[in-house]
Structure formats: structure tokens, C-alpha cells
Amino acid sequence: MTEFFLPELPRLLPVAYHPKAAQIEFRSNGWVRSRLGDCFPSEEDLLSFLRQRNGLYGPLTVPYADEQRALDVADWYQYVTVIDSFVSDRSALGADEAGARDVFAGIMDDFHGDGGGSEDFSYGMAGKELWRRISPGLSPGQIRRFSGALEAFLRGCVTEIRFKLTERVPDYETCMTVRLDSFGCDFIRLMTEYAAGVDMTGCDRLLADVHTHCMRQMIIVNDLLSWRKEHAQGDKMTVARVLIEREGLGLQSCVDRLRELVEHHEKAYIAARDQVLDGPHATRADIRAYLNGLDHLIGGSAEFEYLTPRYFGDGYVWDGSTSGWISLTAPVTRFRARPSADTNTDAQSGSPQAATPSMTRS
């Protein structure tokens, strides 16, 4: 069970690169080095992170934004990706739940202006510098939401550490609930608003189905395309792990099921979006701009996940392939036309077949 075949995903939404994508990536990498370089144990670890091209996530998900806001978004996503990387590392934040809580409490104190501003606390100082840039472009309602969004993300990270350290695999709905936090769904929405220059505070009921299917689609695509990385790190909070270890699916059956779920949520997102655009709020320019932003968020996020060495190994270079055989154990893998190892991926010992998750749950 070391390989699986990744079928084509629907990819029904637009993909575009910001016109200044290369420049933004370079500038964002420089920001990581200057503001967060001390978080890495060595120069090689920092360079490995920079080779993952995380600085492209912003330019791919907000390709319509002005250059400064696109850079702010890129730096924010780099910031939370550094945190996520060390949460997954048992020699760093992932080693101890209580220690991670202390670090995250310090981040929130600095965010609220309660910390001492120690120059030694790189996470806090970097967060404050980002906040000085981003907050003037947010409304009071968005600022309140941002605080809750950051707290939810850090809470989700701590929960993931707990499950990993205790070797527990959650059920599907528990996993999805935690992932909504640890994936950063609340601040992803806010970054989309910030990039588009709109404020969706108070629109939760109107956009409920849009957000449900948007975020579930993104989480499942992420968990599918990052499965090689999460498998190597023993991550327990991923829907692939849940379907295999809790629902009794074989590896290939799991992948095929996740592909079905991606298609379901992507099509359901489009239907929910179109219902809003065809309804009484269709004339609101802010709603239309935001939904266009979500379209590019979904499409751009998937594009990034195909191209990043973060998921396919340091040294991986994407050739544009979006389907093929993938090795879970090769140091660097790629999408191949034929398998190179045992393809009997559904052989599971001692795992009863169980009901798969409903595609209709909210």
C-alpha cells in the first residue's frame, strides 16, 4: 500500500496568477527570512521551507488584488504556514501540547497588544507587523472577526497536536470540524474580503451554503493532495486517515471516495453561489466581487497544491500533470503514467468495511 492513482479532479473554477506573482513570491520569501528566520532550527530548514513556494499561495488565490494587498495576503499565508509546519513537527511545536498553548497564547497577547513585545518572540513580532499592514483595510466588524479567526486557527492546531500525540484518529465529522479551524477557514474568508476590498460581516446566513461547500471542498482537496506529506508525518487529523483507519476503506478506495466528495462539494458550491447571484442580492457589487474572489480562491488553492514541493518532496518540480500514480514513500514523487510498486492498495487487514461519510451533511 505505497502507491495510489490520483484521478482527475473536477477543477470547474477559474485559475489565474497575479500579474506580479513572481515579484510577490520573492518579496514574501524575503519577509519570511527577515521576520521568521529565527523560528527555523537551521539555514537549511529555512531554505527547504522557501523551496516549497508557499509565497505563491497568495498570488494564486487573490490574483485580482492590488499588488500591496496581494503581498499582505501572501505574507499572512506564509506566516500561518510556518506555524502549521512546526505544529506537524514533533521536534518543534508539535512535541508538546502545553508548550504549543504557551506559544499561541503569546501570539494572541501580541495580537491584542497585551504582550511585552519581546524581540525574541518572532511569531508575535511578525504577527504584529502583519497586523499593522492589514488592519487599516478592515472594518471594525472584520477586526473583531479576525481576532476570533486567529484564535480558532490556533485552537485547531492544538487539537491536532493532541490527536497526534495520543495516536487517536477522529471520526469524519469531528475531523472536519477541527479542520475548519486548523485549515484557517475563518481567516481565509477574511483574506478574500480584504483582497477584494469588501466586507461580508453580517452575511453569514446569506452565504451559509456557499461557505460550507467552499471550505469542505478546499479541505478535502488539500487532504488528498497532501496525503503523502501527512502520511509520512503520521498526521491523524486528515480525512484520508479517517476513511482508511475509521471507515475501513483501502487506500485506492479512499482516494476515489475523496474525489467523489470533491466533485460533490465543488458542484454544490457553484449551485449555492449561483443561487445567491440569481437572488435579490444579485445587484450588490460587494457580493459579486466576494463570490468572484471565492471562485479564484478555490481554483488557485488547488493549483498551488499540485505545484508545491511541500506535498511531493523537496526537489519536486511540477510539470502540469494533474493525474497519475503517486508514491507515498519516495523522497520525491511525481504523477506517473504507470505504477512502480505494489498496486494492491485496497488490501487491509483487520479493517471492517464501514459506511462512508454523507455528502449531504452541512
> What separation, in Å, do the N-terminal and C-terminal C-alpha atoms of the chain show?
32
- Residue 187: closest CA among 58, 346, 338, 324: 58
Distance CA 146, CA 200 (A): 12
Q: What is the mean pLDDT of each run of 10 residues along the chain (362 residues)?
A: 94 98 98 95 96 98 98 96 83 73 80 60 88 94 93 90 88 95 94 98 97 98 95 90 95 97 98 97 97 98 98 97 96 94 46 45 42
pTM of the model: 0.91
C-alpha grid cell, residue 299:
481554483
pLDDT at site 99: 78
Cβ burial of 151 (10 Å; 0-12, 13-18, 19+) is: middle
pLDDT at site 292: 98
Distance CA 261, CA 147 (A): 31
Distance CA 162, CA 185 (A): 20
pLDDT at site 352: 38
